[in-house]
Amino acid sequence: MGGTSRAGRGEWVSSRPRAERARQAADVLRQQITGGAFPGGTLPGERELGERLGASRNAVREALALLRAEGLITRRRGVGTTVVAAKHGHGLDRLAGLAEALTGHGTVANEVREIGRVPVPPPAVAARLGLAPGAGAVRVERLRRLEGEPLSLDTTYLPGDIGEGLLRRPDLGRELAERDLFGLIEEVAGQPLGRAEVQVHAVAAAPATAALLGVPAGAAIFAIDRLAHLADGRPVDSEAVHIRADRLTLRATLYRAPGPPGA
């Protein structure tokens, strides 16, 4: 509690451990950075930051160290503090592929690491996709780069018929390198996607995954499960996506529907 009385009623809070003040300052600064408060990518000096954040020089320094550990900023003598890579936002409001979501933010190019038939898909995957017994699947794995820098590693299982339709496309190599799978699936299926169930995890990157994504082993990354359905409800895309969290933020606008009052 560091000098703050518990459940106190409006008293002045004057002394808190520096680590906590630094965290609070880092929280506000992260909001500023990802909210686009520093368009040029260069942060002001410690004194000005201290004024903006209402924090002491020491707290500002520690907050900057926290955000540097997150990979959000870099500090260099003579250059100052700069935002490492603009953190891009991927909306959670609407089902969209990565390239689609990042339209206007740069070019997404995909390295196709694998595409192939999986005659006996893992039963757990077959169940998710609702495959008939004995039905095969097609697996696609891509390392996706934004402006040349790794952004995500996507492994997708498609039902056999959709996958075979994909494999028959004459210009598949280029399409997989340049486009989102969502659009390709829609063209093959002849109908749009409808919905997807998405689960977002934050995990420490395992060494092999970290090496592919170009981050240190153990770095915090997003692991996202996504199961996308066609408009008619059929599940057609079972994905596991690992995303660099230092480059991408997930964004949503949530609305409060009528619910239990004051729960």
Indicate the residue type of 27. Answer: D
Between 149 and 174, whose beta carbon lies closer to a second copy?
174
Residue 36 in contact with a second copy, rule: CB under 8 A:
no
For 48-65, letters b (16+ CB in 10 Å) and e give: ebbeebebeeebbbbbbe
User: Which phi and psi (to 5°) does residue 205 adopt?
Assistant: -65, 125
Residue 165 in contact with a second copy, rule: CB under 8 A:
no
Residue 251 in contact with a second copy, rule: CB under 8 A:
yes
* C-alpha count within 13 angstroms, C-beta hemisphere, residue 136: 11
Show the binding pattern over residues 72-101: x = contacts a second copy (CB under 8 A), - = does not.
---------------x-x--xxxxxx-xx-
Indicate which single residue of 106, 167, 234, 235 sits in contact with a second copy (rule: CB under 8 A). 167
Q: Using CA atoms, how far apart are residues 238 and 131, in angstroms rounded to an integer?
A: 12
- Tell me which H or E stretch contains 75: strand 73-76
- Specify whether the backbone of 79 is left (phi greater than 0), alpha (psi in -120 to 50) or beta: alpha
For a second copy, the binding residues in 178-217 under the rule CB under 8 A are 179-180, 182-184, 186-187, 192-204, 206-209
Which region, judged by CB under 8 A, interacts with a second copy, from 38-46, 76-84, 108-116, 144-152?
108-116
Residue 161 in contact with a second copy, rule: CB under 8 A:
no
Indicate which single residue of 41, 122, 130, 149 sits in contact with a second copy (rule: CB under 8 A). 122
Residue 177 CB, shortest distance to a second copy, in Å, is 8
Between 147 and 183, whose beta carbon lies closer to a second copy?
183
Indicate which single residue of 86, 109, 135, 220 sits in contact with a second copy (rule: CB under 8 A). 220
Which region, judged by CB under 8 A, interacts with a second copy, from 38-46, 65-73, 75-83, 144-152?
65-73
Within 8 A by CB and 6+ apart from 209, the residues are 153, 221, 242
Indicate which single residue of 112, 147, 214, 234 sits in contact with a second copy (rule: CB under 8 A). 112
Q: Using CA atoms, how far apart are residues 119 and 203, in angstroms rounded to an integer?
A: 30
Residue 168 CB, shortest distance to a second copy, in Å, is 9
Which of 189, 179, 248, 186 minimizes the C-alpha distance to 213? 248
